[in-house]
Amino acid sequence: MPTNPSVSEAMLKAVPSLRAFAISLCGNVDRADDLVQETLLRAWANLNSFEPGTNMSAWLFTILRNLFRSEYRKRRREVADGEGTYAETLKSQPEQTSRVEFEEFRTALAKLPSDQREALVLVGASGFSYEEAAGICGCAVGTIKSRVNRARTRLAELMSIESVDDFGPDRELKAVLGGGGGS
Amino acid sequence: MNDHSKPTGPKGPMAGSMQGVATQKRKTSLTRETQIKIGKQLEITYNEIVNQGVPDRFVELIRRLEGEGAKDPAGGPLNENGFAGAGRDATGEKGS
């Protein structure tokens, strides 16, 4: 098998952003790391389907996303409320009580539908082009664009409402912000 | 919505938010600000993890896979059944 050192180096190089993507998908570091590990194993086993010269990182992101999707579907059946569990995992993260703004943002991010969140993260943080993101998500470029737009709009709404403070934070958010801080 | 100073954004980013006239107005001015904030927060959140680098477990994993590949150059890659256990075992037979 092609145990090309440049291949393994490229894989390792992709790990930090794979982790960041995975965490944004599942909101939980341990699960995310397991997902990354599974991704690397899957990728390694399927190296022959990787076309040299193409974007290794995009290829790995695609595998990770597909793994997450299948796992997510499974969990969804078990847990029933997919979105709620994201908020729950955020709540369980310690040492962030002073970082209210982060909390706000992450809570808002976690509230996005997963297809919007992944599109936003791929384009807005991982540095993929719309075309690459479309490839990773297996959808049209226009779909990615509209998901990113909707994600931004929704986040803006969630965060503006927070700063305007005209509407109280909803229960879930309150639980996260208040519950984490103790008092 | 005929605000000419509309930021780059999608058409009618405020279209869905007709809940209150007051916030509507606030939002128009907040949106640009918030867009920047979103970008920044996203970046910070993301980079916070990226900056953690490559945890050892992944370095070890890749090294082990490389080792297996070298040991078994003709052979097939790992089979899927090997996956579940592969990462978890702490046996680290790397000592060569």
Contacts of B31 in chain A (CB under 8 A): 156, 160
> Does residue B26 surpass a pLDDT of 60?
no
- Do residues A151 and A120 touch, judged by C-beta distance below 8 A? yes
Tokens standing for residue B76: 């097939």
**What is the per-residue pLDDT for A27?**
83
Report residue A10 CA to chain centroid gap.
21
**What is the per-residue pLDDT for A161?**
54
- Do residues B38 and A152 touch, judged by C-beta distance below 8 A? yes
The per-residue pLDDT of chain A, averaged, comes to 79
Nearest by CB to B10, from A102, A153, A167: name it. Answer: A153
Distance between CA A137 and CA A143 in Å, rounded?
A: 10
* Domain A1-80: which CATH number of 3.40.50.150, 2.30.30.180, 1.10.1740.10, 1.10.1050.10: 1.10.1740.10
Q: What is the DSSP letter of A166?
A: S
CA A152 → CA A62, A123, A124, A149, B26, distances in Å? 22, 11, 10, 5, 17
Report residue A73 CA to chain centroid gap.
15
Tokens standing for residue A6: 């440049």
**What is the per-residue pLDDT for A99?**
60
Return the SS3 of A59. Answer: helix
The share of chain B scoring above pLDDT 70, in percent, equals 36
Return the SS3 of B34. Answer: helix
Nearest by CB to B65, from A33, A44, A166: name it. Answer: A44
Tokens standing for residue A147: 């998901």
For CA atoms B12, B38, A28, B65, the dihedral sign is positive
Q: Could you list the beta-strand ranges (E) of chain A.
A: none
ipTM value, please give it.
Answer: 0.71
- The model's pTM: 0.66
Using a 10 angstrom Cβ sphere, with 0-12 exposed, 13-18 middle and 19 or more buried, the burial of residue A177 is middle
B positions 29-88 inside 8 Å of A (CB): 30-31, 34-35, 37-39, 41-47, 49-55, 57-59, 61-62, 65-66, 69-70, 72-73, 75-80, 83, 86-87
**What is the per-residue pLDDT for A176?**
53
List pLDDT tens digits, range B62-94: 999 988 866 554 444 444 444 433 433 434 444
**What is the per-residue pLDDT for B78?**
46
- A82, A137, A69: which is closest to A111 by C-alpha? A82
Å between B95 CA and nearest CA of chain A = 19
Across the range B31-47, mean pLDDT stands at: 82
> Does residue B30 surpass a pLDDT of 60?
no
Distance between CA A27 and CA A164 in Å, rounded?
A: 26
Contacts of B72 in chain A (CB under 8 A): 1
**What is the per-residue pLDDT for A175?**
52
Å between A80 CA and nearest CA of chain B = 25
pLDDT tens for chain A, residues 1 to 183: 545 778 889 999 999 999 999 999 988 899 999 999 999 999 999 999 998 888 999 999 999 999 999 886 676 655 444 444 444 444 444 444 336 777 788 888 989 999 999 999 999 999 999 999 999 999 999 999 999 999 998 988 887 654 444 444 454 455 555 544 444
Q: Say yes or no: domain A84-183 is CATH 3.10.20.30.
A: no
**What is the per-residue pLDDT for A3?**
58
Q: Residue ranges of the domains in chain A? A: 1-80, 84-183
Across the range B57-66, mean pLDDT stands at: 94
Helix (H) or strand (E) holding A68: helix A56-79
Tokens standing for residue A41: 């194993």
List pLDDT tens digits, range A54-85: 899 999 999 999 999 988 667 665 544 444 44
- B50, B17, B6, B84: which is closest to A37 by C-alpha? B84
Q: Which of A128, A157, A161, A170 to mutate to test the interface with B (most CBs of B within 10 A)?
A: A157
